[in-house]
Amino acid sequence: MTTSAASELIVTPPGLAGVVVAETAIGDVRGAEGFFHYRQYDATRLARDHSFEDVWHLMLRGELPTEAQRGPWEADVAEALVIPEGLAEQLGVVMRAAGSDDPLVTLRTALSAYGALTGDRPLWDSDEDIKQRAALRTAAVVPWLVTAAHALASGREPVAPRPELGYVASYLAMLTGRTPSAEHIAALSRYLVLTIDHGFNNSTFTARTVASTGTDLSSCLVAGVGALAGPLHGGAPSRALDALDEIGSVERAEGWARAQLAAGQRVMGFGHPVYRTLDPRSELLKETAIELGGPTADLAVAAEAEVVKVLDEAKPDRPLRANVEYYAGVVMQACGVPREMFTPTFACSRVVGWAAHVLEQSRDRKIIRPRSRYVGPLPE
């Protein structure tokens, strides 16, 4: 980081890489160690041992629920999952008007409409109780919005939430139209918990930047969805699975990887801007994919080893390992999530993390306003 004497501006690295822009008590990523945590807890252990609702409580309320707190909290979540009939009808009109076959595009429009229809108030003018209730309610509506959008794009009527099943099972039931197995609920729960938060990633930083203006919660979350839609962020799981389709068999994996590098193409599913060792999310999802079984999981494991050999040879100074997207698609597909719903499913978990960050940012009461360094023609 250098300082320009002429402009007295601090010039940061491209992409703000390594630059600390805020303080947070929500979580952190230790890239050199291959470790990340939510609050004071190892995130991968939370994914193994706790429900999505437990971790939601941790993100929003700052602690895992006690036995006494768990029942009332799960009741609050179940109540939030229910979409009032009149509101569902209004949102259905909005989603049909959006006219998109991409559930994430429709989500942006529907989430914005949801905020307006429910009277979402500016964070600047809201007390903590109002913010907490808005965060719970708005995050809870996202699974229905994305599954309803998917159903409408497919010419089907949306399926109502089943809050008695719990957050993850209700989502799968709305998406597939059937009651999911315990195996699929547990597997998808792991994925959703692992992706609730991950440091100051692009979409989280975007949501916090908007939150710093004091605007309403829905506007902040819509901004997060817009960032998540990019192929370098939430759009990667489907592309990693597309790569496995191209590979087809383990015998083709080495040649495919070499061809990607020769063409200057990014090897989707490998490497991460923060991790310089194994991605702990990928390791747990790999284990989950193996437990679920199937030819795609078998191919993914075998192809990973071959691709890593090629990457180590080509980039010996920078280890590139499978990231969360590589096995995310394998796990979601095995659970019945169609490929076009991978990123919307990601949004169903990450919206909980965004909401927690938005509330934290709203307590700062200072707008985020960086500067740019002008490099164009000098004014006359």
Residues in a beta bridge with 2:
11
In degrees and rounded to multiples of 5, residue 216 shows phi and psi of: -75, 160
Task: Indicate which residue of 53, 74, 304, 325 is catalytic.
Answer: 325
Whether residue 233 lies in the annotated active site: no
272 is catalytic: yes
- β-pairing, 35-38 vs 41-42, is antiparallel
Count other Cβ atoms within 10 Å, centred on residue 316: 8
Q: Which listed residue (57, 272, 306, 357) is catalytic?
A: 272
Closest CA relative to residue 131, chosen from 122, 140, 144: 122
220 CB-near residues (< 8 Å, 6+ apart) = 123, 207, 208, 210, 211, 354, 358
Q: Which amino acid is at 87?
A: L
Q: Output the CA–CA distances (angstroms, integers) from residue 253 to 239, 246, 262, 323, in the order listed.
A: 16, 9, 14, 17
What is the helix (H) or strand (E) element at residue 100, kind and residue range? none
Q: Which residues are catalytic?
A: 272, 325
